[in-house]
Amino acid sequence: MEFQPAIVASTSFVFLAIGLLGITYSVMSSSWDEDREGSGLGFDEFSKNVDSLKEGLSRTKENALLREKMVGLSEAEIQRAIDESDRRKDELKAKKQKEWTD
């Protein structure tokens, strides 16, 4: 019995894609909070983890912009920017903790 190479390649690709999607969903649907029990299929955890990733990417972008602004600033200006960044982190942390407890 002989198979066409295109069919074999397509089938292999489909199974690879299904496997990658399954692994990704299993990571994203697990509870990242050690003190919190996850649900059976992890739908709630998936949405919360996606939101956490979006917040992390947003913070990364903010940090890059802050670094660009820091070039050529005085020490006092840099310290003010760091304090502002810390304040925003604390606000996000409080918001996140409130969401997890609700």
pLDDT of residue 63: 84
Residue that is written with structure tokens 């029990």 in the block: 37
- Other Cβ atoms closer than 10 A to 96: 15
- Which contiguous run of DSSP H or E holds residue 58? helix 43-70
Q: What is the pLDDT of residue 64?
A: 84
**Which pLDDT does position 14 carry in this prediction?**
98
**Would you say 84 and 65 are in contact if contact means Cβ atoms under 8 Å apart?**
no
Distance between CA atoms of 65 and 63, rounded to whole angstroms?
Answer: 5
pLDDT in tens, the chain (102 residues): 888 999 999 999 999 999 999 999 988 888 777 777 777 788 888 888 899 889 888 888 888 887 887 787 888 888 887 899 899 999 988 888 877 776
pLDDT at residue number 43: 83
Which one-letter amino acid corresponds to residue 95?
A: K
